[in-house]
Structure 1
Amino acid sequence: MNLQTSDKSGGASLEAIARNGSLLRRIAVRIPTYLTDLRENPAWLPMFVLARTMPGRRMHWLAARRARPVDNARDTMFTGVEREAVVGALRSDGLFSGLVLPSDIHRQIADFARRTPCFGNFDRRLEFMPDEHGQAEKRLGRSLLSGHYFERILDCPAALSVQRDPLLLDVAAHYLGGQAKLITTRVWWSFPTGKATDADKNLASLGKYHFDLDDWRMLKFFFYLVPVDAGTGPHVYVRGSHNRRAIKHQLTLLVGHPAEEVLDVYGQQSPVTLIGEAGLGFVEDPFGFHMGTVPARTPRLMMEVGFGVSRPSRRRFHGEPVIR
């Protein structure tokens, strides 16, 4: 009996040491990005400290300005979608699914992505064609879990038409306030690979629930550019988690947490797994817990158009962190 207790205590201690070591490594990896954010914009620091807390966020929401009508709101490519319904779902659930890209639009973006080199794991030195992913892993001697296009996607007219669609700004302004502005436009691949480490997955925001903390108030529109099923790494959102937050999830420096810890707080029935055909779109408040699951069989190609209320970072516009 005593031996069993001692063993368990020792095991728990070893587990705690490993967990703390992992925590320190994850914080250390982010330090260059944090310092660059602070240098670019000193107002980043109070946001980074306070926007993770519910009182801090609620105070900032009080500064939301009344949204002005968007003159060309009806000139949208998204038929049958009413702004009021989208904003209402965002306020209650943090998520609205029901946007559909026209087929010619998502095909043009996907075609552009297939014929354009991408950058692996957010690193501009790891450049490869997406259909040569396996060969690239062998050539570079490392796993490539993601492939981003950064500013190259701005050379795709179809992607720009999504970025500029008036419905997106109309929804963002009525949810975030009149200060809402475009801050991110991204297209990227998530690849199945048997070699990915936990660090690779953390960098790619895959396999672990997390919340985004790039601004006081944010909204992100996502679009699948290929069909996504359970084997393609579907996106998962924890419904309602944008409106409440456990104290331990407000006081930690990390935004990522294990699934069992998140679901114990927000409910086993709260996750929504989004699967569908190419063109499926959804919008979420990314302060709610969410994650992209790791593709098991086929690559996922996805587009994001994000809105915030602060001056956008030059890097965040392309989704690029600082990595050394």
Structure 2
Amino acid sequence: MHGPQKSKQQDLETIARSGGALRRMVARIPTYLTDVRENPAWLPMFLLARTMPFRRAHWLMAKRVRSSANTAPSMFGDLRAEAIAAELRRTGIFTGLTLPASIQAEIARFGHETPCFGNFDRKLEFLAGGHVDAEQHFGRTILSGHHFERVLQCEAALAVQRDPLLLDVSRHYLGGEAKLITTRTWWSFPTKSASEADLSRASFKFHFDLDDWRMLKFFFYLSDVDADAGPHVYVRGSHNRRRVKHQLTLLVGHPAHEVLGFYGEDSAITLTGKAGSGFVEDPFGFHMGTLAKQSPRLMMEVGFGVSKPSKRRYHGEPVVR
């Protein structure tokens, strides 16, 4: 396909994807209304935090933090929070985290032995090792399996979320009001029957998170992740500048050619690594999960923010108090 015909086809595909995204947004309206009733401050954040002028104004209100005086031991060794925060300000991501082998093994064991819920649906409950049988039993494609609040039963996961380095980094980057918000573990599964609708509902396109004015998320691979196991992709530098077109829309997901065309192909980093490897990112930067092709991926996330935590469970993530 060449020339105008190809361009027209791309335009039609973009319209189709946008239509699906809008339908999903309409379906979420009851959830959005619940958020507003629970916390009226959520609505201005949702509408304005996607724009750079309002976002930068909010960053100016961050409570200053002095040089770290934290002497509590960290499972991550002698990494300096100030240095990590400086790298985050520059690129939006820091990739030098490694879980102790015993911690990684314990959380991985929990992930294998604890039933998860497929596609965020509590009616689709199964053990990760029975994923193929679960797809046959439930008669549908299952791309993910979340443990929801069950992660709080795992002592090793609790040890990670409470590690002093994570809060120290968050305070140096987000400001002194930074607080622990969410913790989750989930599986990403390879499947041969994923439809376009399945993929459009998942995070397999470049998007940014809009859960708070200022956020930071720590991710840890709990299984080996190579190019065929659904590695995470992050667009460096996209956390602190944004194409005007992407600020003036309610959609957070955008086609790869638009994102990489603006930030550059070489700005995207694909994160592979052994079990236990981790990274921290500003999720306002464009990122995406890739489809697991051969091997399932088990992952953990610990999120920090600056606003009042919602009582609802966003993506099944427990609110940690």
Shift of the 139–81 alpha-carbon distance from structure 1 to 2, 3 Å rule, reads same
Q: Is the 8 A contact 2:183 2:317 kept in 1?
A: no
Cα displacement (A) at 1:84: 1.8
Shift of the 66–187 alpha-carbon distance from structure 1 to 2, 3 Å rule, reads same
Normalised by the length of structure 2, the TM-score is 0.92
Structure 2 gap segments, 5+ residues each? none
Identical columns (%)? 67
Normalised by the length of structure 1, the TM-score is 0.92
Query: Secondary structure of the equivalent of 1:185?
Result: strand
Q: Is the 8 A contact 1:68 1:178 kept in 2?
A: no
Once the two structures are superposed, the pairs formed by residues 108-257 of structure 1 within 5 Å of their partners are 108-205=106-203, 207-257=204-254
The one-letter code matched in structure 1 to 2:73 is D
Q: Is the 8 A contact 1:53 1:251 kept in 2?
A: yes
Q: For 1:131 and 1:318, locate their aligned partners in 2 and report how far apart those are by CA, in whole Å.
A: 22
Query: Secondary structure of the equivalent of 2:194?
Result: coil
Q: Is the 8 A contact 2:116 2:147 kept in 1?
A: yes
Structure 1 gap segments, 5+ residues each? none
Query: Secondary structure of the equivalent of 1:269?
Result: helix
Q: Is the 8 A contact 1:183 1:317 kept in 2?
A: no
Q: Does 1:276 align with 2:254?
A: no
Shift of the 268–21 alpha-carbon distance from structure 1 to 2, 3 Å rule, reads same
Query: Secondary structure of the equivalent of 1:232?
Result: coil
Cα displacement (A) at 1:315: 3.0
Greater CA deviation, 20-29 or 257-266? Answer: 20-29
Q: For 2:235 and 2:192, locate their aligned partners in 1 and report how far apart those are by CA, in whole Å.
A: 27
The residue that corresponds to 1:60 in the other structure is: 58
Greater CA deviation, 30-39 or 5-14? Answer: 5-14
Once the two structures are superposed, the pairs formed by residues 252-263 of structure 1 within 5 Å of their partners are 252-263=249-260
Cα displacement (A) at 1:83: 1.2
Cα displacement (A) at 1:67: 2.4
Shift of the 134–22 alpha-carbon distance from structure 1 to 2, 3 Å rule, reads same
Shift of the 12–269 alpha-carbon distance from structure 1 to 2, 3 Å rule, reads closer
Q: For 1:199 and 1:73, locate their aligned partners in 2 and report how far apart those are by CA, in whole Å.
A: 49
Q: Deviations over 1:121-163 (max 9, x none)?
A: 1111111111000000011011110000111000000000000
Greater CA deviation, 157-166 or 32-41? Answer: 32-41
Greater CA deviation, 70-79 or 130-139? Answer: 70-79
Q: For 2:109 and 2:159, locate their aligned partners in 1 and report how far apart those are by CA, in whole Å.
A: 15
Once the two structures are superposed, the pairs formed by residues 296-315 of structure 1 within 5 Å of their partners are 296-315=293-312
Q: Deviations over 1:150-205 (max 9, x none)?
A: 11000000000000000000000010001100111010000001222344334432
Query: Secondary structure of the equivalent of 1:313?
Result: coil
Q: For 1:279 and 1:300, locate their aligned partners in 2 and report how far apart those are by CA, in whole Å.
A: 12
Once the two structures are superposed, the pairs formed by residues 76-95 of structure 1 within 5 Å of their partners are 76-95=74-93
Two-structure CA RMSD over aligned residues (Å): 2.3
Shift of the 318–208 alpha-carbon distance from structure 1 to 2, 3 Å rule, reads closer
Once the two structures are superposed, the pairs formed by residues 20-59 of structure 1 within 5 Å of their partners are 20-59=18-57
